[in-house]
Amino acid sequence: MPKPFTPKVVTANHLLEGDVIYQTADGWTRNLAEAEILLEQADADMRLIEASQQTDVVVGAYLANADASDDGPQANHFREEFRATGPSNYFHGKQAGALPGPLNGQESHNPSRI
């Protein structure tokens, strides 16, 4: 008997910056809580295929288990929680400042959106 499907998000690393990013309904974000939560296997598979084809933006796209909550998706595994919160040592480099804006040169009101 197959396991029941558990909610997922599509995650990857940004090709140029290396940041952990999550797929939204219309793009990518650095904030897990803004990610699109996928509740059906067919939808998850299709979104992963779409992400994998964006080779000019992302690398290493995969489906990660997540818990649905009122505040958006939440990591439910140590690895994903670690990826979502960033480096485990003191902040340095780009982590010391605010999140950078969009990587395509366009202005945005949401600095976590790509």
Burial status of residue 102 (CB atoms within 10 A of its CB: 0-12, 13-18, 19 or more)? middle
Q: How many domains does the chain have?
A: 1
| Single pTM value for the model | 0.77
Establish if 33 belongs to a structural domain: yes
Instruction: Look at residue 32 in the predicted model and tell me its pLDDT.
Output: 95
pLDDT at 56 over 70: yes
| Mean pLDDT value across the chain | 85
Pick the residue with more confidence: 101 or 16? 16
Any domain includes 73 = yes
Check residues 109 and 15 and name the one with the higher pLDDT: 15
Domain presence at residue 102 = no
Residue 38 has what DSSP assignment? B
* pLDDT(102) > 60: no
Please check whether residue 107 lies inside any domain of the structure: no
Position 82 scores a pLDDT of 86
Is 83 inside a domain boundary?
yes
Residue of 92, 90, 114, 93 lying closest to 103 (CA atoms): 114
**pLDDT tens digits, one per residue of 1-52:** 788 999 999 999 999 999 999 999 999 999 999 999 999 999 999 999 999 9
Q: Given this model, what pLDDT does residue 93 score? A: 66
Domain that holds residue 73: 8-87
> Is 112 part of any domain?
no
User: Over 90: is that where the pLDDT of 107 sits?
Assistant: no
